[in-house]
Amino acid sequence: MTAVAPWGHSASAIYNTFDTQHHTVVMATIETSNTAIADVVIIEPKPIGDVRGYFAETYRSDIFDAAVGRHISFVQENQSKSRRGVVRGLHFQRGAAAQGKLVRVVSGSVLDVAVDIRRGSPTFGQYVAVELSEYNMRQLWVPRGFAHGFAVLSEQAVFQYKCDRYYHPEAEAAIAWDDPDIGIDWRLNTADVLLSDKDRHHPRLCQIPEDVLFDYNQDLYAL
């Protein structure tokens, strides 16, 4: 399947900060953009810069909750460092351990991917791909019901993500990063892709039992 366009309509939330050097109030924004797959949202802080550097608020629960349409409580935050060509994914946690993730890059750049694996969804098997970098400061909300992965495009990348459920190794599941039915363009030459041993051997989406996937008609936040 081809990727769906990452951007839909956008909104911004504006708040004030005080510039102590010039004794003036300046405006900063966090913009949010819907994607073509419902529930997957781009969060984009807009920094304020001057000769000293910049300031940005990278997360506000009120803005984030309004963008995703519900209150989300994050319980765990993880960080990884990877070299160019590394692909991690496509990962998810099964059943009641399903995770939502808010992901960002603090150094380097990656192509971040969310795949809809909700049975009955009109976008089942389709994906959103968004470049996240230290420069654009974008974040991607990958809700429960989606598989997630990323490819490192820079020489190195430091990747961070907040989770709304704890990691449960017994609930781990994954889909092949190169599943031809999904058809992700990772923007890397296949010969340059670096994978863990585990990520080399995941099944295709069509090979995963239905009871391992999610139900589009079930509220995954009521589990």
Is 22 annotated in the active site?
Answer: no
**Residue 23 falls in the annotated catalytic set:** no
Taking CA atoms, 54 is separated from 7, 14, 50, 136, in Å, by: 26, 17, 6, 13
Out of 127, 148, 161, 202, the active site residue is: 161
Calpha distance 40→157 (Å, rounded): 22
Catalytic pick among 91, 127, 148, 202: 91
E-only strand ranges, the chain: 10-19, 24-34, 41-46, 48-50, 53-55, 76-83, 87-93, 101-107, 109-116, 118-119, 127-133, 139-142, 146-152, 156-163, 172-174, 214-215
Q: Which residues are catalytic?
A: 91, 161
